[in-house]
Amino acid sequence: MYISEIGLYQFRNYDNINIKLHPKLNILYGNNAQGKTNILEAIYICATARSHRTSREKEAIKWEKEEAHIRLFLNKESRIEKIDFHLNKNGKKYVFINEIPVQKLSNLLGIMNIVMFSPEDLQLIKSGPKERRRFLDIELCQIDKIYLYNLQQYYKVLKQRNHLLKSIHLDKGQEAMLEVWDEQLVYFGEKIIESRRDFVNKISNIASMIHANITSNKENLSIEYSPNVKKEIFKDKLKDSLDKDIKTGISSVGPHRDDILFKINNNDVRTYGSQGQQRSVILSLKLAEIDLIKKEINDNPILLLDDVLSELDENRQADLLSNIDNIQTIITCTGIEDLILKKLHKGFLFHIENGFVEPQDSKFL
pLDDT digits (tens, 9 = 90+) for 287-321: 999 999 999 999 999 999 998 887 777 888 888 88
Which CATH number does the domain housing residue 99 bear? 3.40.50.300
The alpha helices in the chain, defined as continuous H runs, are: 36-48, 129-143, 145-170, 178-214, 234-240, 242-248, 269-272, 275-297, 314-321, 338-341
Instruction: Examine the domain organization and report whether 52 and 73 are in the same domain.
Output: yes
- Overall domain count for the chain: 2
- Identify whether the C-beta of residue 81 lies closer than 8 Å to the C-beta of residue 114: no
Tell whether the model's pLDDT for residue 102 goes beyond 70.
yes
Beta bridge partners of 26: 330, 348
The backbone torsions φ and ψ at residue 329, rounded to the nearest 5 degrees and listed phi first, read -130, 130
- Looking at residue 80, its pLDDT comes to 93
Distance CA 191, CA 130 (A): 19
Instruction: Examine the domain organization and report whether 192 and 279 are in the same domain.
Output: yes
pLDDT in tens, 29-66: 999 989 999 999 999 999 998 888 887 787 888 888 88
Top-confidence residue, 354 or 309? 354
Instruction: Examine the domain organization and report whether 168 and 287 are in the same domain.
Output: yes
Distance CA 338, CA 251 (A): 53
Among the listed residues 101, 109, 19, 9, the one whose alpha carbon sits nearest the alpha carbon of residue 62: 9
Distance CA 247, CA 170 (A): 10
- Looking at residue 187, its pLDDT comes to 97
Provide, rounded to the nearest whole percent, the portion of the chain with pLDDT above 70.
Answer: 96
Residue 267 lies in a domain: yes
Average the pLDDT over 76-105 and give the result.
91
Average the pLDDT over 169-179 and give the result.
82
Top-confidence residue, 169 or 35? 35
Beta bridge partners of 289: none
Instruction: Examine the domain organization and report whether 47 and 187 are in the same domain.
Output: no
Answer with the one of 298, 330, 348 that is the final residue of a domain: 298
Instruction: Examine the domain organization and report whether 81 and 185 are in the same domain.
Output: no
- Looking at residue 363, its pLDDT comes to 44
Instruction: Examine the domain organization and report whether 337 and 191 are in the same domain.
Output: no
Domain that holds residue 83: 1-113+299-365
CA distances for 141 relative to 94, 115, 146, 229, angstroms: 20, 13, 8, 21
Residue 66 lies in a domain: yes
Answer with the one of 298, 324, 349 that is the final residue of a domain: 298
- Looking at residue 362, its pLDDT comes to 54
Q: With bands split at pLDDT 50, 70 and 90, how would you rate the model's confidence at 337?
A: low
Residue 122 lies in a domain: no
Cα-to-chain-centroid distance, residue 295: 18
Instruction: Examine the domain organization and report whether 153 and 286 are in the same domain.
Output: yes
Average the pLDDT over 7-18 and give the result.
94
Instruction: Examine the domain organization and report whether 196 and 89 are in the same domain.
Output: no
- Looking at residue 365, its pLDDT comes to 41
Instruction: Examine the domain organization and report whether 155 and 136 are in the same domain.
Output: yes
- Looking at residue 346, its pLDDT comes to 77
Residues 6+ apart with CB under 8 A from 354: 13, 34, 35
- Looking at residue 279, its pLDDT comes to 87
Tell whether the model's pLDDT for residue 353 goes beyond 80.
yes
Residue 121 lies in a domain: no
Residue 188 lies in a domain: yes
Instruction: Examine the domain organization and report whether 327 and 338 are in the same domain.
Output: yes
Read off the DSSP letter of residue 300.
-
pTM: 0.89
Residue 68 lies in a domain: yes
Q: Say which range, 130-139, 169-178, 261-270, has the weakest mean pLDDT.
A: 169-178
Which CATH number does the domain housing residue 143 bear? 1.20.1050.90
The backbone torsions φ and ψ at residue 21, rounded to the nearest 5 degrees and listed phi first, read -105, 155
- Identify whether the C-beta of residue 7 lies closer than 8 Å to the C-beta of residue 17: yes
Instruction: Examine the domain organization and report whether 4 and 35 are in the same domain.
Output: yes
- Per-chain mean pLDDT for the chain: 90
Question: Helix, strand, or coil here: 319?
Answer: helix
Instruction: Examine the domain organization and report whether 272 and 363 are in the same domain.
Output: no
Answer with the one of 274, 298, 322 that is the final residue of a domain: 298
Q: With bands split at pLDDT 50, 70 and 90, how would you rate the model's confidence at 343?
A: low
Residue 208 lies in a domain: yes
Average the pLDDT over 207-233 and give the result.
93
